[in-house]
Amino acid sequence: MEFRDYQESAKQTIQSYGKNKEMDEIIPFLGIIGETGSVISELKKLLRDGRGGYNNFENQLKEELGDVLWYISTIASQNGLTLEDIASHNLEKINDRFSDDENSNFKIYDESYPKKEQFPREFEINFKETTENKKCKIEILDIDGNSIGDPLTDNAHIEDGYRYHDIFHYGYVAYLGWSPVVRKLLELKRKSNNATDEVEDGARAAITEELITLYIYSHAQNHQLFKYSDRVDTEVLKSVQKMVSKIEVKDCTARQWEKAIINSYDVYDELRRNKGGRVLVSIKNRRLIYLGKK
């Protein structure tokens, strides 16, 4: 049966409760709460009695889920929605959040630009930690030992390791093919296109990236810096997607962001524990790999 056929048939059985139209719209919401409880009750019976003691679980579950579906259909009909649109939107949402189909989602945003404006498809960087005036700082070097950007400290009263935060920007390069911050550091701004140079590689995009990095870091501090987790809260990922909704990386899914974040924090942990080291940034393999210290 098609969704639209079910919804049309279910619509014919919607009940009216007198002249109070507001009550007609509220009762289905209350009904779906009750029927959800009935679904949970079936699970309780199964857990209590086991398959052998409760052999009608599937039939009862089908009935209770059908009641839930009826209330969903009713609420949708009363609010001008279709089950087809709801199902389609839900699939888009869960694919954005959980799909691991990297090949269809991954984009290299500088692919059509001159070679001199493209990220190297694979390169190595070295995080070198030193101490000056009892304060730790990090210098990032390229494969030839040249400095990339200025040395970084935690910029905080209490040492918290934020001096290593540039690894997150390199993580965006590896897993998203994007980073206005790194593009500026490596002098790879796409100046051949004025609009791209201004909007995608300009100050606003770079500030947005830094804000995202700090926002995630603040969240991570309450989650042990993701040491024991391979998931990022969905609301955090949604907030990140909203921040980038006006620039090219808006195409990236929540799952891509999650992978970039979790893997970057794995390398971040290695860098902190070892007080620096070499990292391979690979766009072609979508990897960020800690290589150890020289």
Give the residue-averaged pLDDT of 225-239: 94
User: Looking at the predicted structure, is the pLDDT value of residue 103 above 70?
Assistant: no
Q: Give the H or E element holding residue 288.
A: strand 287-292
State yes or no: pLDDT of 102 exceeds 70. Answer: no
Confidence check: pLDDT of 23 > 90: no
Domains of the chain: 3-98 (1.10.287.1080), 103-292 (no CATH)
**Cα angle: 273, vertex 227, 283; to 5 degrees:** 80
- Using the predicted structure, report yes or no on whether residue 106 has a pLDDT greater than 90: no
Q: Is 129 helix (H, G, I), strand (E, B) or coil?
A: strand
State pLDDT tens for residues 168-200: 999 999 999 999 999 999 999 999 999 999 999
C-alpha distance from residue 247 to each of 116, 149, 242 (Å)? 22, 24, 10
Q: Name the more confident of 131 and 268.
A: 268
> pTM of the full predicted structure?
0.85
- The tens digit of pLDDT for each residue in 247-293 reads 999 999 999 999 999 999 999 999 999 999 999 999 999 999 999 98
**Phi and psi (nearest 5°) for 45?**
-65, -40
pLDDT tens for residues 24-76?
Answer: 889 999 999 999 999 999 999 999 999 888 989 999 999 999 999 999 999 99
Does the structure show a pLDDT above 80 at 3?
yes
- What pLDDT does residue 20 have? 74
Distance (Å) of CA 116 to CA 140, 147, 186: 21, 19, 10
Name the percent of the chain lying above pLDDT 70.
98
| Contact in structure between 277 and 292 (CB atoms under 8 Å) | yes
Instruction: State the pLDDT confidence band at 104, using cuts at 50, 70 and 90.
Output: low
Nearest one of 80, 79, 61, 59 to 69, comparing CA atoms: 61
Give the Cα separation of 56 and 183 in Å (integer): 62
Distances (CA, A) of 79 to 31, 70, 86: 16, 14, 12
- pLDDT over threshold 80, residue 127: yes
**Cα separation, 51 vs 48, whole angstroms:** 9
Q: What is the mean pLDDT of the chain?
A: 94
